[in-house]
């Protein structure tokens, strides 16, 4: 009897581990556009015949879909249940990639990007919540794993995109840009669309197959306080600075600088590695340690490093100062999420969704702003400089708002939530 119970427990443990690995692997695959599209920016501009402003509008299309998704994900989770929302998001993302794969004109490509974002954005909330449901006793660890895994696409896909650009030829003897752009979309779309079928088979007969609805109520009076909305805006400054840099930095490197010691895709991969390193280190630290310092100091320090490389005119500094700056400002987001969790309590999920809506609006604005400034001035460094000041505003705003004083005393729920515009926008 005891042997049977032990075998059943072992089988359940193996099933949960397999489900976790499959969900994380699928969401990593589904994040292809976030890591690859900035590297393809120069090729997209030439392929579709766009100016800087039009390119900025195209690259910001996804943020519009993300906003719509974030508005709907909460109510839909209450109506359908978390597991159904997750599976709809996965299937929708797969279909979105397939649409991108067959959309050869700008008229079709832009709506396909919008369609993909409608589903992929909700993965940033539904995936970590689903993992917590699978491992309710390991909530902090599961959310930390989700946070760290979200850095993997930013580490791998820029390198893949850079490799694909390297096989493009202009004389018609090799692969065209259209080929390296669209074929990966088809491959990713097939993988993401098929994976939910595998997950359904793994879930059958497990406790996780139950799909209880969310019944909690959102406390709107606390969610809409000026102090709470102020925190959301500060998060938006960080996320939009991050999004503006990730979107336009490769384009600036590829068009305004001569010979580079590192390819743009390699630099973006190093930036993702910096995020992974700094946040892995922070995840090992006790909650609340240096909380106020992490909210105030990293942004200005990282921005100073970035601007040094951006305006030095030295190609090597241009390549290394972005990852070096990312080592610092990447610490701001987890610290702010801890601050948000300490204030929101049981309403943390709804607060996070609201914060991400604000972040999406500001991110779309900044991405377009950088493109417009590049069009007016002829120098993308101007727009990148303005965008990077969001990290400084975040630090200054956190200081004058007194953020981090309460959580520095250790009164923080044991959780780390999904990542910012760099890994999920």
Which tens digit of pLDDT belongs to each residue from 269-299? 888 888 888 877 776 666 566 778 888 999 9
Q: Give dist(CA 101, CA 32) in Å, integer.
A: 13
Is the per-residue pLDDT at 310 higher than 70?
Answer: yes
Q: Let me know: does 53 contact 371? Beta carbons within 8 Å.
A: yes
Q: Which residues contact 157 (CB under 8 A, 6 or more apart)?
A: 31, 32, 34, 35, 36
Tokens of 230: 């102020």
Domain boundaries, the chain: 2-424
Chain Cα centroid distance, residue 253: 22
Chain Cα centroid distance, residue 378: 29
Which tens digit of pLDDT belongs to each residue from 207-243? 554 555 554 555 666 777 888 889 999 999 999 999 9
- Rank 146-150, 165-169, 173-177, 374-378 by mean pLDDT and report only the highest: 374-378
Helix runs in 139-263, H state only: 139-149, 152-166, 177-203, 220-223, 226-256
pTM over 0.75: no
Which tens digit of pLDDT belongs to each residue from 70-86? 778 767 776 777 788 88
150-164, 364-378, 405-419: segment of lowest average pLDDT: 405-419
Considering the chain, what percentage of its residues have pLDDT values greater than 70?
A: 79
Architecture of domain 2-424: Up-down Bundle (1.20)
Q: Give dist(CA 44, CA 425) in Å, integer.
A: 19
Nearest to 318 by CA among 368, 276, 268, 274: 268
Averaged pLDDT score across all residues of the chain: 79
Q: Give dist(CA 32, CA 15) in Å, integer.
A: 27
Q: Let me know: does 418 contact 424? Beta carbons within 8 Å.
A: yes
| Residue 416 banded pLDDT, cuts 50, 70, 90 | very low
Helix runs in 81-151, H state only: 82-102, 106-120, 123-134, 139-149
Is the per-residue pLDDT at 327 higher than 50?
Answer: yes
Q: Let me know: does 319 contact 262? Beta carbons within 8 Å.
A: yes
| Residue 410 banded pLDDT, cuts 50, 70, 90 | very low
Q: 369: burial class by Cβ within 10 Å (0-12, 13-18, 19+)?
A: middle
pLDDT of residue 98: 95
């Amino acid at each position: 009897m005891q042997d049977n119970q032990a075998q059943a427990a072992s089988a359940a443990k193996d099933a949960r581990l397999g489900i976790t690995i499959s969900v994380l692997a699928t969401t990593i695959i589904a994040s292809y556009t976030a890591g690859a599209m900035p590297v393809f920016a120069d090729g997209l501009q030439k392929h579709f015949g766009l100016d800087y402003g039009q390119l900025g509008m195209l690259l910001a299309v996804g943020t519009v879909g993300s906003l719509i998704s974030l508005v709907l994900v909460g109510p839909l989770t209450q109506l359908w249940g978390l597991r159904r929302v997750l599976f709809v998001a996965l299937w929708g993302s797969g279909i979105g990639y397939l649409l991108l794969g067959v959309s050869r004109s700008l008229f079709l490509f832009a709506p396909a990007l919008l369609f993909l974002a409608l589903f992929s954005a909700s993965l940033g909330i539904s995936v970590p919540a689903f993992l917590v449901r699978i491992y309710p006793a390991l909530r902090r660890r599961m959310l930390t794993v989700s946070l760290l895994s979200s850095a993997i696409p930013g580490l791998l896909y820029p390198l893949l995109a850079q490799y694909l650009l390297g096989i493009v030829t202009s004389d018609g003897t090799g692969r065209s840009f259209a080929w390296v752009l669209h074929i990966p979309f088809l491959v990713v779309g097939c993988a993401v669309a098929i994976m939910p079928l595998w997950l359904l088979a793994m879930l059958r007969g497990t406790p996780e197959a139950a799909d209880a609805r969310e019944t909690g109520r959102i406390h709107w009076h606390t969610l809409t306080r000026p102090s709470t909305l102020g925190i959301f805006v500060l998060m938006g400054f960080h996320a939009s600075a991050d999004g503006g840099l990730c979107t336009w930095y490769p384009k600036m490197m590829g068009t305004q600088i001569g010979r580079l010691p590192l390819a743009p895709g390699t630099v973006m991969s190093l930036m993702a590695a910096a995020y992974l390193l700094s946040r892995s280190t922070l995840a090992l630290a006790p909650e609340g340690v240096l909380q106020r310092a992490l909210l105030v100091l990293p942004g200005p320090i990282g921005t100073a490093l970035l601007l040094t490389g951006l305006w030095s005119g030295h190609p090597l500094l241009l390549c290394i100062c972005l990852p070096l700056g990312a080592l610092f400002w990447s610490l701001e987001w987890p610290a702010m999420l801890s601050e948000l969790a300490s204030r929101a309590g049981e309403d943390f999920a709804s607060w996070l969704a609201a914060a991400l809506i604000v972040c999406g609006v500001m991110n779309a604005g900044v991405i377009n702003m950088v493109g417009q400034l590049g069009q007016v001035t002829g120098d993308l460094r101007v727009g990148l400089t303005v965008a990077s000041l969001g990290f400084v505003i975040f630090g200054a705003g956190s200081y004058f708002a007194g953020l981090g004083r309460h959580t520095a005393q250790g009164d923080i729920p044991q959780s780390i939530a999904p990542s910012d515009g760099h890994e999920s926008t």
